[in-house]
């Protein structure tokens, strides 16, 4: 036995070798082409782990819109998520889609808890400076408070 194999065996003997169990991935989408980048990464991961992909879109809090307008916006967003799911996801990877209303980070984190999400895959604008410090970043808020791992992809 070579020295390298002996060293590898001794290390592996002390470390429990196991892979994370990923059953549910969450991909937040804002319907921009850039946010679809997250799907390009989520699909192979879901295939590898035989996981389901949940798609979510968050509508801004209702300000001056009526209940009917809110319902219309919700139905349009749900229809778009369903179309994206059918077009882009293999049938065995599809899970339920959700359209939520509120602050994006809080709504997404609430859904993560509710659906026992194992991994969040999202895109970030990669903003910096004063604007990010004052306004905050949805992706950063999610990364700091999520109870599960978050894969953040910089939009290119």
153 bridge partner residues:
123
Residue 136 has pLDDT above 80, yes or no: no
Total Cβ atoms within 10 A of residue 34? 15
pLDDT tens-place string over residues 54-113: 999 999 887 777 888 999 999 999 999 999 999 999 999 999 999 999 999 999 999 999
Task: Give the chain's length.
Answer: 156
pLDDT at 17: 58
pTM: 0.80
Residue ranges and CATH numbers for the domains of the chain are 19-154 (3.40.50.620)
- How far is Cα of residue 7 from the mean position of the Cα atoms in its chain? 38
Element (H, E) at 134: helix 130-135
Element (H, E) at 116: none
């Amino acid at each position: 036995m070579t020295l390298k194999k002996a060293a590898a065996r001794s290390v592996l003997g002390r470390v429990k070798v196991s892979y994370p169990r990923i059953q549910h991935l969450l991909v937040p989408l804002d319907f921009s082409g850039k946010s679809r980048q997250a799907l390009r990464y989520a699909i192979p991961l879901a295939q590898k782990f035989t996981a389901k992909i949940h798609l979510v879109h968050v509508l801004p809090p209702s300000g001056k819109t009526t209940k009917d307008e809110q319902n219309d916006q919700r139905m349009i967003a749900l229809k778009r998520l369903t179309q994206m799911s059918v077009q882009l996801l293999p049938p065995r990877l599809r899970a339920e889609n959700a359209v939520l209303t509120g602050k994006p980070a809080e709504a997404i984190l609430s859904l993560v808890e509710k659906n026992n999400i194992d991994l969040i895959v999202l895109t970030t604008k990669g903003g910096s400076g004063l604007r990010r410090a004052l306004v905050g970043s949805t992706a950063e808020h999610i990364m700091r408070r999520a109870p599960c791992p978050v894969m953040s992809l910089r939009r290119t």
